[in-house]
Structure formats: C-alpha cells, structure tokens
Structure 1
Amino acid sequence: MRVRKKQSKRTSTRMKEGIKKKAAAQNRKERKLAKKDVTWKSRGKKDPGIPANFPYKNKIIEEIEAKKMKDLEEKELAKQQRLEAKKLALEQGETIMEDGMEEDDGQNGLAALVASAQEAASKYDGHSNFDEPEEELDVVDYNIDFYNDNDEGNTELEKSRKAYDKIFKTVVDASDVILYVLDARDPEGTRSRRVEQAVLQSQGKRLILILNKVDLIPPHVLEQWLNVLKSSFPTIPLRAASGATNATSFNKKLTQTATASALMEALKKYSNNSNLKRSIVVGVIGYPNVGKSSVINALTSRRGGSSKACPVGDQAGVTTALREVKVDNKLKILDSPGICFPTDNKRKTRKEQEAELALLNAIPAKHIIDPYPAVLMLIKRLSKSDEMTDSFKKFYELPALPSNDPDTFTKHFLIHVARMRGRLSKGGIPNLESAGISVLSDWRDGKFYGWVLPKASKDSMATGTISTISSGATQEPAKSEQTTIVSDWSKEFDLDGLFASLDNAISSSKENEDSLME
C-alpha cells in the first residue's frame, strides 16, 4: 500500500491577508448589528463557573456556601442589635437615627414629593375638596347579560337589535339626563326617532344631542347640522378625543378642553337647579364607535379625575357592560354598550342595512362579511362633493380608472388599493375583501374628507354657497310643542350663556375657511 506524503499546512501570504480582511469585515458587521439590537446585554463578562473536571471543585463550592451563611448571620445579628438599641432608646424616652433610614429614604421622599406636588396643584387650580375626587373615580360595573337569549341571531345586526330594548330601557329608567351621541360626519345616520320619542314619553327625562367628532367636518357643515338639530333638541358640539391636529383637521378652536368643560358646566348647572337631594344620573347612549366612552373620559378629566374611566378603542364593541362613574356627590355618568337602534325606513334590505352599519363603523371589522357594498356606498357619498373627491384621490394616489358607473370604478379602486398595500392572495390575485376592510379603517380614522349634508341644504353643495337654515328646515315639520321643549331645556342647562364661546369659535373657523377659499 502506498503511503501518501503529508501535505503542508503552509499557505501563501495573499491567502492569509485575504482571510484577515474577511474576518475584520465580519467583525465590523457583527458590531454594527449589535448596536441595532435592542436586546439588553450586560457589559460585565459572565462568570464561566468552575469546570466540572477541576479537582478541588467541591471544596471551593463549600467555601462559597459557608461565606454566604456567615454573611447572612452577620446581617441578622446587626438587625437584632438595631432593634434592641431602638427598644432601649424608646424606654429611656430618647430618639435615635436608624441605619435603615437611608434605604427607605428614597421611597418615602418620593412619596412625600408626589403628595406635596398634588397638594400644590390643587391649590393652584383652586379646586375645593368638597364633592370632588382627588385621585380616582368610583367606578361600578353592572354585569348584566343582554345577549343571553340571542341564540337565533347569527349576525351582529340581529344581536344588537334584540338587545336594544333591554339596554335602552335600563339606561333611560336609571337616568335623569340622556346624552345622545351622534357622529358629526353622518348625524342622521346615527340618529333614531324612536329613541327620541321614548325619552319624551318618559316623565322628567331630559335629552341632549352630542355632536361628536367635529374635527372631521368643515365649519360650514357643522353650522348647518347645528341649525337643523337645535330645532329638535338642545345640541352641543363636542370633541371628545384630542387626537392629532393636522392639516386634515377642522374646527381647531373647538378643543377638547373647551367643549368638555362647557358640557360639564351645563350638567352641573342642571344639577344645582334641579333641587334633588340625590346625585343626578347622566346616561350616555348611541351607536357603536360614536365616542360614548370618550365623552365620559373627557368629562371626568375636566373634574380632576382619571381620563381613562372607561376603556376606549378605535373599533366597535369595546364597551360590553353598563358602567357607572361617580364624578362627585351630585353627578353620576352611566356608560352603555353601543347598540344599533331600529331604523325608521323599512324598505331597505338587510344587505343595505349592514352596509350602512359598516360605514358607520358600528360593526367590528372581523364581523364584516363583505365590505364591498359599504365601500360602494362610501364612494357614492364622496362623489357628491369636489372637496371630498379630491381628498380621496390624493390620499390613495389614484391613477386614471374606468368610471363608467360606480360599480366598475369601485372594483378597479379596490384592485388598486390591494396592489398598492400588498393585499394579494396566492398567485398575485388582489384580495378585494382585505382591501375593502383597509379602506373602511381609513374612513373610520378620518384619513380623508367625508361628510353628509342635511337634506335641506344639499343644493348648496354644488354652488359652494352656505345657506342659512332656519329652525323649520328639518325633515319633519316644526311643532310648537317641540319648540317649547327646546327653549325650556336650554334654559335649564343655561346653554345660551355657556356655549356662546363655542359659537364664536365656529364662526371664526368659518371665516378662516372662507378666506382660504377666496
């Protein structure tokens, strides 16, 4: 057998230098990645421990354990000596400084600092300690199952309709004042005449319409809706959530602080004038995701309480139970789950009703089976105004799409959104359902303009002029009884005086809009 000669391990200088360069480049890459890594790593080197084959390993471990026991005994002995010295000093009537004060000084000092800061803040704000919360609000959750007999309903619409009577009657019976929260982008779509009639039939109940999300509609649209709604019930514009003030925000002078403070003052005014020996209960009702819990949080934050008294979210169905929030000794607020009130128009099909609810964000995205009808309805609404159409095209960067009819345009639009946002199925096929859900989410978050004008003023949209709507420009003929109710309730809440500043803010915002248009 032939024995091969052993090969030499020597390499050329060129190969050695190449290996060094590659190793240096790899080290630089690892250091660069380590800087971007957010995982915490100790700078100290980890103790490798004692090797298992070390001959004196057991002896070293025993010495370490003995040292630990000795340190523990010395610590306990020092503690006993401190306690005996303290006991002896107390018997002799003397005081001594404890060694452990340095350890607790940080926590006690921080607590004292926080307490002094809160006391100074309360003195600075001028808040009295009478009937106002200092830190936390009294919150009571009522675990009432409103859906216990809804086995037959398969959709969210049917479940909400079946639970309507229970939730609504519970809130109305327990409340003195009902705040009906409406979405400013579509107040008529989130309004039910049956709810108003039920409140009017209840003796001693007061109903106030809250026009929420006023930062998503222009001043002239807000003014028209206020003129229409004020002829039926006292109506208050409100910006419940602060949100981000950007170029797409309207009515920037109607801040959360100003509107919530005015509403709270109106409720306190009614509470003082009612001469009740108990606290008044304010019930908040409305469609899902119109901002009921945000309204309550805005009110409680104005009284020095927590701004998170009720959980909120950007989807429907966050509030699932009745919750009572005690603001002070004279005011309680009752939050209720969002419900889809019965519609007055019985000619609409079930598919059309579900599309409207999806467009009103009253149905969670996971329960929307087919978003196409809602997107089609949205595009038809946006096509009625050049301002809304331009905002829509600019946001989605729409190219030239076939626009023979709304149905064709909607399909090509969803294909464009699916490709732009990567909503593709296997084989690169556009997923129209996922794209439609994405569009509805953008509409919910107010990323592009969109609103509905009152029927009495839709003709003014084409000309661009702003028509003054009288008190009789509602859908239903004005009645003397309704006018008397509105005037009487406005006096009880002192709305004319408290909301004069809000009217001025709307007028100034309208003037700024007119100047920009010119």
Structure 2
Amino acid sequence: MVKKSKKSKSKRVPLRKKYKIIRKVKEHQKKKAKEAKKLGLNKKPKVEKDPGIPNDWPFKEQELKALEARRQRAIQELEEKKAARKERAQKRKLGLLEDEEMKEQGSVEEERVTDVSIVTTRNHDRSERVFYKELVKVVEASDVILEVLDARDPLGTRCVDMEKMVRKSGHDKHLVLLLNKIDLVPREAVEKWLKYLREELPTVAFKCSTQEQKSNLGWKSAPKSKKTGKAINLLQTSDCLGAETLIKLLKNYSRSHEIKKSITVGVIGLPNVGKSSLINSLKRSHVVNVGATPGLTRSMQEVQLDKNVKLLDCPGVVMLKSTENDSSVALRNCKRIEKLDDPVGPVKEILKLCPDSVLVTLYKIPSFSSVDEFLQMVATVRGKLKKGGIVDVDSAARIVLRDWNEGKIPYYTMPPSRNADEPSEAKIVSELGKEFNVDEV
C-alpha cells in the first residue's frame, strides 16, 4: 500500500499570508504618503474665494437686484430653448416641419452658393487679367508676332482682337499667321486655307514634333523607305514639318536692310493651339512645358533660338465676344473640361459638326437619333454608371470632349468663299516687303 502524503494539494493562499500581504501594502502606502507630505507634492492649490460685495458699498442692494435679474433672464432663455427643441422634435416625428423653416434653410443654402460663385468668378477674372498683362508684355517686346491657328478650324481659333492690338502697338510690329496641326486635316484643306489666309497676312503651314525624347527633336526632310524607295509622308511620322521654312522666313527678316540683326519673336494665340509645342519643335528640345490642358503656360517665357532669334512664349488668352457661348469656347479647348457646368451642350455641337457614321465606328455603338441616346450608349460601353445602375451622362460627355480636344474625333472645316464686294487686304501683305514673301522661301 502506498502511503498518502500529509501535505495539502490545495493552491489556495492561507489567510495568514493574505493578511500579511495586506499589512505590508498598507505600510508601504503610508510610507509613500509621508515622503510626499515632506516634499509637499500632495498640496492642493488654494482657490481664492470671491470676496463678494462689501457691506460698506452704498449701491450693494441695487447690484444684487441686477445680478438676480440677469440670473433669472438666463434661466428663462434656457427654458425657452429647451421648449423650442422639444416642439421641433415632436414635429419632426410627426412630419409636420413648418414650411417657414424649410424656406429659411433654402435661403441660407442659396446665399452659400452665391458666395462660392462670386469667389470663383473673381478668381477666374483675376487669372484672365494676369494672362492679358502677359500678352501685352509679349506684344510690346516682340518685333515679329506669330499667331498660331488650329488647322482644323482656323477662323474659329483666330482672334481678331489680338490682331488689332498688335497693329495698334506700332507699325514696326509684323504679324505672321502659322497654321498648326496640319497632320489632322487633309492636304487639300491645308492648301485652300493657305491660299485663303495669304490674301490677308503671310501664312506658314506647320506640324509640331510629337517625339518624347528631351533633345534632338527631328525636323529633317522625309527619309526614303527601304522597301519601296519612295519618300515617307512626314505627316504620318513624329517629325516636325515646316520648321525650316519658318526659320528661313525669320532669318530673311533679321538680315533685311534698316533692321537690327537680332530679333524677338512672340508666339500668341488661344489656349491649346500648340504655342509651346511650336517653340520646343523649333528649339529641338523640351524647353517649355506642353500639355492638352488649357492654361498650362502661366507667364511669359524667353527661349534663345540662336544668336539672332529669341522666342517669347505667351499664355493663351481668350477674348470672348458677346455672341459666343460656353459651347463654342469648350470646343476650342479654351476651358478645362472638369470645370464645365454643362458638358452636354458642347457635345450637341460636336454631333452637328461630325457625321454619325464616324462616331458610331469610333465608339463602337449602334446608330442613334439624339444626343441623350448617344451619351447613354457611350456611358454603357465605357462603364460609366452611378449608384443603382444609373447611366452617368456627364462623365460620358466629358469623355467625348476629351477625345475631341485630343484630335481622336476627325473634324476639319473648309475656307468660306470670298465675295467680290469685300475689300481685299492684299496691300497689307505687299507692304511687309520681300523678307516675308512665303512663296519665294
């Protein structure tokens, strides 16, 4: 038989040990309290009591009455607020919120919206004023002014007010039109536009370089292909076209008699016509920022092309006429797509200008009969849906506008026919002299 051990297997602490621990903890706390008392750590700061109104003051009774009246008024206001809150809570539960409160809330929201719109219009006006000042600086500092036009719509991107300002600034200022983005239109349209515009001012056709390297942007003559041995069409390549003609034109002006050898050339025009891209192509390196968003160039920038020619880049300025609407401005990419209040309006203008078959093949949608139907189809194809599967028409309209500004939607205009009764401006071209004779160059 195995003997059982007499020791208890219980893990319970005996009471004598428990009381001993409690006693030790109390002694430790007392010791700590004595040390803190000696150091003065537990002393509470004495709160100065309000002495009150002295009894000797002659106006004591009047002051006490005024204090009591203020106290009663504050209590009454608190009670009225509590009662008003209870009434509003009951009316909300019953759905009987008064119409006056709703009108008050609406008026407050309207005031907020008007304040925001006033601030945004002020900021917009301020930025336009700054850009206009930069334009005046460029015109005053330049001997030759290049007005850049979009070859797809030269008359739409041509600013007559800018040309008047250049002519008023002095007789020594010479204005030259530059037809940019000729790779986006057929050759016949470019030739007709050049013939039309050269009746008024010297005009040069140009295609900017679309290469991505930082330097050595090509604008040489078209190389011959190895297979066919024929010259490659430069309009289909990423090289620049028209730079040699433009530089020869400027050099002729700088070498002409009675004119200083070094000249300053200002580049002006509406936003997103390719002013900065033109300067990069002539310099053959990325010296100024370029982008599809309007307003990227914020101030005048100087670029030394060579020892005789200096270029001035100007921010795009929109001089709106009273007859122009937001749609026409948006189609010229003069306004940011994100800031458009109504993006559907410009899309209506696009549908008037472009045939339906082009849009059907581009967006891979079936035939449509209205603008709303077109935008709904584009939104479903591109997956632009709101919460609950609702079609987001505004997002689809912004997609179409972005494609329009980037040149994905093919579009171009032809020059109008001149009337025989209109006064010809051929005298202006002949007065400029041989240095701006484009045909000879």
Question: Which category of TM-score, normalised to the shorter sequence, fits these structures?
Answer: 0.5 to 0.7
User: Residue 161 of structure 2 aligns to a residue in which SS?
Assistant: helix
In 2, the alpha carbon distance for the partners of 1:280 and 1:325 equals 12
Q: Which amino acid aligns with 1:170?
A: K
**Within the alignment, does 1:178 sit opposite 2:145 as a pair?**
yes
CA gap of 1:210–1:492, structure 2 versus 1, over 3 A, is same
| Match for residue 291 of structure 1 among 274, 284, 291 | 274
Please name the residue that 1:242 is paired with: 210
Alpha-carbon distance, 1:195 to partner: 1.7
In the other structure, the counterpart of 2:436 is 493
Q: Counterpart in 2 of 1:312?
A: 290
Letter in 1 for 2:423: A
Q: 1:337 to 1:347 in 2, by over 3 A?
A: closer
Change (3 A) 1:258 1:164: closer
Query: Contact 1:212 / 1:239 at 8 angstroms: preserved in 2?
Result: yes
Structure-2 change in CA distance of 1:483 and 1:294 (3 Å): same
Within 5 A, what are the aligned runs for 1:459-478?
473=418, 477-478=422-423
Q: CA deviation at 1:274?
A: 5.1
In structure 2, do the counterparts of structure 1 residues 255 and 208 end up closer, same or farther at CA, with 3 Å as the change threshold? farther
| C-alpha distance in structure 1 between counterparts of 2:272 and 2:240, whole Å | 21
TM-score when normalising by structure 1? 0.55
DSSP-derived class of the 1:328 partner: coil
The amino acid that maps onto 1:497 is E
Residue 181 of structure 1 deviates from its aligned partner by: 0.5
Q: Find the partner of 2:331 among 350, 359, 384.
A: 359
Higher RCO (CA-CA < 8 Å; seq separation 6+): 1
Does the CA-based 8 Å contact 2:254-2:261 persist in structure 1? no
Question: What amino acid sits opposite 1:399 in the alignment?
Answer: P
Deviations 1:447-497 (A, max 9, x none): 1311122232xxxxxxxxxxxxxxxx2799233xx3122134362134112
Whether 1:260 and 2:227 are equivalent positions in the alignment is no
Which segments of 5 or more consecutive residues in structure 1 lack a partner in the other structure? 1-150, 245-249, 302-306, 384-388, 404-408, 457-472, 499-518
- Amino acid corresponding to residue 378 of structure 1 in structure 2: I
Partner residue in 2 for 1:204: 172
Q: Give me the whole-angstrom Cα distance separating, in 2, the residues matched to 1:410 and 1:452.
A: 22
Q: Which amino acid aligns with 1:265?
A: K
After superposition, give the CA deviation of every residue in 1:331-380 in whole Å (9 maximum; x if it has no partner): 1100011111233xx334xxx2x211111111122222221111111111
For 2:265, the equivalent position in structure 1 comes to 282
The 8 Å contact of residues 194 and 203 in structure 2, kept in 1 or not, is answered as: yes
d(CA) in 1 for partners of 2:132, 2:298: 16
Amino acid at match of 1:339: V
d(CA) in 1 for partners of 2:307, 2:358: 48
User: Contact 1:178/1:207 (CA < 8 Å) preserved in 2?
Assistant: yes
Aligned pair count? 304
Q: Which residue of 1 aligns with 2:385?
A: 424
Matched residue, 2:54: none
CA separation of 1:450 and 1:490: change in aligned 2, threshold 3 A: farther
**Is 1:336 the counterpart of 2:314 in the alignment?**
yes
Match status 1:440 vs 2:407: no
CA distance in 2, matches of 1:288, 1:193: 15
CA 164–342 in structure 1, closer or farther in 2 if over 3 Å, else same: farther
1:161 to partner: Cα distance: 5.0
1:375 has 2:347 as partner: yes
Deviation at 1:243, TM superposition (A): 6.4
The SS at the match of 2:265 is: strand
Matched, 1:396 2:339: no
Distance 1:220 1:254, change over 3 A: farther
Q: Using the alignment, how far apart are the partners of 1:444 and 1:487 within structure 2?
A: 36
Bigger CA radius of gyration? 2
Q: Distance in 2 between matches of 1:255 and 1:206?
A: 30
Q: Is the 8 A contact 1:316 1:364 kept in 2?
A: yes
Give the drift of 1:275. Answer: 4.7
- 309 and 209 in structure 1: CA distance in 2 versus 1, 3 angstrom threshold: same
Q: Deviations over 1:180-222 (max 9, x none)?
A: 0011111111112222222223220000111111111112222
Structure 2 match to 1:34: none
> Aligned-pair distance for 1:178?
0.3
Secondary structure of the 1:400 match is: coil
Amino acid at match of 1:397: K
Where do residues 98-177 of structure 1 align in structure 2 (5 Å cutoff)?
154=121, 158=125, 162-163=129-130, 165-177=132-144
- AA of the residue aligned to 1:192: C
Query: 1:330 corresponds to which letter in structure 2?
Result: N
Quick one: which amino acid aligns to residue 298 of structure 1? S
SS at match of 2:395: helix
Structure 2 CA distance for partners of 1:204 and 1:287, relative to 1, 3 Å: same
Residue deviations 1:406-454 (CA, integer Å, cap 9, x gap): xxx1111111111111111111111111111111111112113111222
**Residue identity in the other structure for 2:269:** G
Q: Aligned in 2, Cα 1:274/1:431: closer, same or farther, shift over 3 Å?
A: farther
Query: Within the alignment, does 1:347 sit opposite 2:323 as a pair?
Result: yes
Following the alignment from structure 1 to structure 2, what is the Cα–Cα distance between the partners of residues 227 and 497? 15
The whole-number CA distance in structure 1 between the counterparts of 2:122 and 2:245 is 39
3-state SS of paired residue (1:496): coil
The 2-side partners of 1:262 and 1:410 are apart by 44
Alpha carbons 1:164, 1:339 under 8 Å: kept = yes
Alpha carbons of structure 1 residues 336 and 474: separation in structure 2 relative to 1, 3 Å: farther
Go from structure 1 to structure 2 and tell me whether the alpha carbon gap of 1:183 and 1:258 turns closer, same or farther (over 3 Å shift).
closer
Q: Do 2:203 and 2:438's aligned partners in 1 also have CA atoms closer than 8 Å?
A: no
Where does the alignment leave 5 or more consecutive residues of structure 2 unmatched? 1-117, 213-232
For normalisation by structure 2, the TM-score amounts to 0.64
Give the aligned partner of residue 273 of structure 1.
256
Q: Which residue of 2 aligns with 1:411?
A: 372
Kept in 2: contact 1:289–1:316 (CA 8 A): yes
Confirm or deny: 8 A CA contact 2:272 2:316 kept in the other structure: yes
Q: How does 1:207-222 map to 2 (within 5 A)?
A: 207-222=175-190
- Aligned-pair identity (%): 37
Q: Distance in 1 between matches of 2:243 and 2:427?
A: 26
